[in-house]
Amino acid sequence: MPTFGSHAFDELKLIMQMNLSQLEWYRMGGEVSDRQWRDILGVLKTKSEQLDLAYLRKWAKELRVEDLLERALQEV
């Protein structure tokens, strides 16, 4: 049975993966959806102190959205 600590970690990992997916969709959609961008910024604002930025940056680079991630981080 997972402990609360590992459950919280799994939840944060899922949030980070979803945010990376949103960055990919934003890119594929021509970077024009204000709603998608606000959603991305909202997650970063509300969870910023808990997110593993090294993990996000690593995968953003792999997914070729690192410029979008950095832009979002600067905006929050």
Check if the beta carbon of residue 7 is closer than 8 Å to that of residue 25: no
Please write the tens of the pLDDT for every residue from 57-74.
999 999 999 999 999 999
Range of the domain at 41: 4-75
Number of domains in the chain: 1
Decide which of 69 and 4 is more confident. 69
d(CA 72, CA 7): 26
How many Cα neighbours within 13 Å face the side chain of 51?
A: 23
* Helices 4-28, 66-75: crossing angle, 10 deg rounding: 110
pTM attached to this predicted model: 0.81
d(CA 4, CA 10): 10
The residues, any chain, with a CB within 8 Å of residue 74's CB and separated by 6 or more, are none
